[in-house]
Chain A
Amino acid sequence: MCDEEYPSVKIKLRVDGKHYEVYVKPYERLVDVLRYRLGIVSVKEGCGRGECGSCVVLMNGELVPSCLILAVRANGSEITTVAGLAPEGKIHAVQKALLDVHAIQCGFCIPGVALAIKWLLDKNPNPSDEEIKEVLSGHYCRCGGYLRFIKAAKIASKYIREGRIYFDIKEVIS
């Protein structure tokens, strides 16, 4: 019943290139640590059950729902969120593609969708429509952006195959 019954554990992790050391409770989830202990808001929580796809991160290269990962399990891991896809001042081809097709409405699903597309393209540089739809099926978009996400995945794939990985943010804001 008391706090001491659940001793905190120190974990170390790298998120978007930055090193963190933080004390976590054993029952805390990675999404809690990221959002509420570390103030990293580029990961959202929509359901807490791995159903909506909003909370996904790339953990050691794999796309996983951070709401189902115990924080202690993340010790020693490399985490990438949408904010870490590109260096400061730049955006990644996937982000650029999403902007190109005007894919963003409320934006809540976007961090997850961007990572899903990145994960797909890392493994499959030239995916088919079916393969894109399959990866996107894990991400709900209640605003109905699916058709644009599929287009964006194809555009991002082209950018990357052409070697155009990063774009200047200033290029986009005009």
Chain B
Amino acid sequence: MSQVPEHIRIVEEAFSKYKKFVYVGKKLLRWDAVSKVTGRVPIFTADFVSRYRDALYVYSIRAKYAHARIKKLDISEVSRYPGVVKVITAKDIPGVNDVGYVVPDQPLIVDRKVRYIGDVLALVVARDYYIAREAAERIHVEYEKLPVITNPLDVIDLETLNEKKHALIRDERGSDVVAKYKIRRGDVERGFREADVIVENEYRTQFQEHAYLEPEAAIAIPESDGGVTVIVTTQCPFEARRAIARVLGLPQGLVRVIAPLMGGGFGGKEDVGNVIGAKAALAAYLTGRSTIIIYTREESFISHSKRHPMIAIYRHGAKRDGTLVAVEAKIILDTGAYASLGPFVAWRATVHSVGPYRVPNAKVDTVAVYTNNVYAGAFRGFGNPQVHFAVERQMDLLAEELGMDPVDLRFKNILREGDETVHGQLLSKDLGVGLEEALRRAVNLSNWYEKRRKYSLHFKGSVRKGIGVAILWHGNSIGVEAADYSSVSLIVNSDGTITFRTGLTDFGQGALWGLVLIASEILGVPPSYFIVERADTSAVPDSGPTVASRTTVMGGAATVNAAYKLRQRLNEVASHILGCPPSDVEIRAPDVFCRSNPSRRTSWRNVIEGAHWLGIPLQEFGYYRAPSASWDEDTGQGSPYITYTFGAVIAEVTIDVETGEVTVDRIYTVYDVGKVINKEGVEHQAESGAIQGLGYALMEELIHDAEGKVLNANLSTYYIPTAADAPEIIYDWVESGYKLGPFGAKGLGEPSLVGIAAAIANAVSYALGAKINELPITPEKIYLTLKKLGKLRNDV
């Protein structure tokens, strides 16, 4: 008989015990809001630069071509340039020349060939950036140009998913296929034979750029013990430490990584911290001086990871009454020059590929391939927004074929509590299955049926209106990607304040505030008592990376553990002081009293002092290890995620059919987050995901030319939504209660974007009576669609 591990038992106990909340679920101003709005103190990495007056600047000399062999590299003139301290090439790297996150395929500085336009040939370390840049112009490189591959279909065939003969990018490997995943459930051939209706389409999505407002930056300081401290924009300080230590050939303990608050991340700062941190650290290590590196916006565009573009063919079969019988999908993801998080993105895309539905027969094949485009990696949603676009469009097209309302078709097939997913995972009550409720609420909030009717008749002049729906699921945390654990430390200081430490980082999502609210709730002290320290690998426990919408669910569970144990000890001390049993102690800091006899009271400060004298330590380390996920490589069967966040999104659009302009009037979102911990945070996420998803749907695309050069590497030709583009956003929440989440909570960072583009695409398709199967839905695409259908108004 297996014992339930303590860290799980504590979380389960908290879930069942707490019914009423003082802090959890409330909308409280986050810990860093005031400092951010007054602006006086350094907050972001580059804000600290002026403190390092003698530092040297590191400038990356980048490739001239997107695919070429390096025949000769001459840096002698660069080195001689006045003001240059050192020029670093691949051969100067003391450790391993690799910063790949999942696969060791990514040299920090190339030596043999360049594979994309952002590849680095050498680092110039100089007195200032102007000198570094001027010196850089004096590099002499002899290239042997190689064919540039910008179309993944030149690498792989869409029908057969077999690799084609082509000029290999990873010639040392013999193949440009990075990863392959599949799902085999039931018998799709039989399923399609039994289907009354079959719908098959091709879907395409684009490269999306994170466009976080804060460019990447790093400051490295050589330390007296031979190590190095690196302040860097990274979502994963421990991953950065591992990468930097590897590059320098140092033990991890000699590399200290500090991750200040970031100005946006969205996954883009997941692995770029490895790269830019390693550059700064390498320069510091080799020169013995502090070094600074800040990317220009243009550099940021061409060098860091993007969202994987997708080309997919989906085939859906259903019975006349709408029941899904078979789903087949072939999915190709372009991971660009390096794998980055590609293998994991491809896996997540595969897991979620059929959408949150009961699918008895499924055949899914996903392949991620290399090209010479800028490489693709982690970006909010991580493969899920792409497949949801395809799947939710399919469902609408199926509904059209069947003459059913799209919402009704979804209700017919959605996963409910007690159902099995396409992987055979049982969605038990413990997981919190609120999808049906979410869809129901979204339908009511938006007045779906009435609007659907009204808009089908709406045609005033050149204006058409539409309404569309998408439902979604998003597995929480990292599934089978790695061992899934997190940790936090709580330290009560002698003045009564509490230091909160974790290796999880913040780039705006505010999830750490939720962790503070959890600790507040359990300890009984107001959030204002807490001091949230920034992630510092020398001071905080390894909490795993800040990715996969896991901060609340994993960091939160670790916080429950830390707070729970700390609370037991505080109860012990208070009991000693007050004379009532520990279970009777009520903490409402600054007051502490006996629940059954409130006249017996003392103060929070007294309890802390008492602990010191009684020899009861007031630091606690909270650790949480998620139950193991499982995945069969041949069948895609198992329990890939610990739970899923569910959601329903409905979008209303107005289209000017003359110009092709799409205006998103309103987005309704209802997410099942298990439990709302941080009210401010979930609202922020709903809005944030909606607007970033709107950009993905309508206007954003990073474009390469045939030579692999990025054509729109700035913020006016790469369009992100402005204030004038923001729609009305109306949200509601479902709290289905995930038993192993902190008080039942699940994550929202990524789910908040996953369904947006799909809902908008469905709304646009409905408004036009046309198939929209490609993102972004630009005005020109609307024009071409209408032109092809002969629906362009004649008097133009």
Give residues in A with beta carbon < 8 Å to B.
1-2, 27, 35-39, 41-42, 44-49, 51-52, 54, 81-83, 91, 95, 98-99, 102, 104-111, 114, 132-134, 136-137, 139-150, 169, 172-174
CA A38 – CA B266 in complex, angstroms?
Answer: 31
Nearest A-chain residue to B725, judged by Cβ: A146
Contacting pair B297 A46 (CB below 8 A): yes
Question: Chain B: interface residue count, which band?
Answer: 35 or more
Instruction: Note all chain B residues with C-beta closer than 8 A to A111.
Output: 39
Contacting pair A46 B528 (CB below 8 A): no
CA A37 – CA B49 in complex, angstroms?
Answer: 10
Nearest A-chain residue to B752, judged by Cβ: A144
Interface of A is mostly: loop
Instruction: Note all chain A residues with C-beta closer than 8 A to B215.
Output: 45-46
Nearest A-chain residue to B717, judged by Cβ: A51
Instruction: Note all chain A residues with C-beta closer than 8 A to B44.
Output: 44, 108
- In the complex, 16 of the A-B residue pairs with CB atoms within 8 angstroms, ordered by the A residue number, are A1-B134, A27-B130, A37-B50, A41-B42, A41-B50, A47-B715, A51-B716, A82-B37, A99-B33, A99-B34, A108-B264, A110-B36, A136-B723, A136-B724, A141-B213, A147-B687
A-facing residues in B214-236 (Cβ within 8 Å): 214-215
Q: With A51-B715, A110-B36, A142-B211 in contact, is A105–B684 under 8 Å at CB?
A: yes
Q: With A35-B50, A48-B296, A142-B692 in contact, is A108–B263 under 8 Å at CB?
A: yes
Contacting pair B722 A137 (CB below 8 A): yes
Give residues in B with beta carbon < 8 Å to A.
27, 29-30, 32-34, 36-44, 46-47, 49-51, 82, 130, 134, 210-215, 261-264, 266, 296-297, 506-510, 528, 680, 683-684, 687-692, 714-716, 720-724, 726, 728-729
Q: With A102-B29, A102-B683 in contact, is A42–B40 under 8 Å at CB?
A: yes
Contacting pair A140 B715 (CB below 8 A): yes
CA A102 – CA B690 in complex, angstroms?
Answer: 17
CA A172 – CA B509 in complex, angstroms?
Answer: 21
Contacting pair B49 A144 (CB below 8 A): no
* Candidate in B44, B134, B728 with the most chain A CB atoms within 10 angstroms: B44
Contacting pair B714 A49 (CB below 8 A): yes
Contacting pair A143 B39 (CB below 8 A): no
CA A106 – CA B215 in complex, angstroms?
Answer: 13
CA A142 – CA B51 in complex, angstroms?
Answer: 28
Nearest B-chain residue to A108, judged by Cβ: B263
Name B37's contact: one of A99, A132, A148 (CB within 8 Å): A99
Q: With A41-B47, A99-B29, A105-B508 in contact, is A139–B723 under 8 Å at CB?
A: yes
Query: B20 to chain A: closest CB distance in Å?
Result: 22
Contacting pair A52 B39 (CB below 8 A): no
Name A144's contact: one of B30, B130, B214, B692 (CB within 8 Å): B692
Query: B535 to chain A: closest CB distance in Å?
Result: 15
Query: B621 to chain A: closest CB distance in Å?
Result: 28
Instruction: Note all chain A residues with C-beta closer than 8 A to B29.
Output: 99, 102, 172
CA A111 – CA B34 in complex, angstroms?
Answer: 12
Contacting pair B297 A150 (CB below 8 A): no
Contacting pair A133 B723 (CB below 8 A): yes
Instruction: Note all chain B residues with C-beta closer than 8 A to A136.
Output: 722-724
Contacting pair A104 B33 (CB below 8 A): yes
Q: With A1-B134, A172-B34 in contact, is A81–B50 under 8 Å at CB?
A: no
* Candidate in A48, A141, A173 with the most chain B CB atoms within 10 angstroms: A141
Contacting pair B37 A104 (CB below 8 A): yes
CA A37 – CA B53 in complex, angstroms?
Answer: 9
Instruction: Note all chain B residues with C-beta closer than 8 A to A149.
Output: 723
Contacting pair A102 B33 (CB below 8 A): yes
Name B690's contact: one of A38, A81, A144, A172 (CB within 8 Å): A144
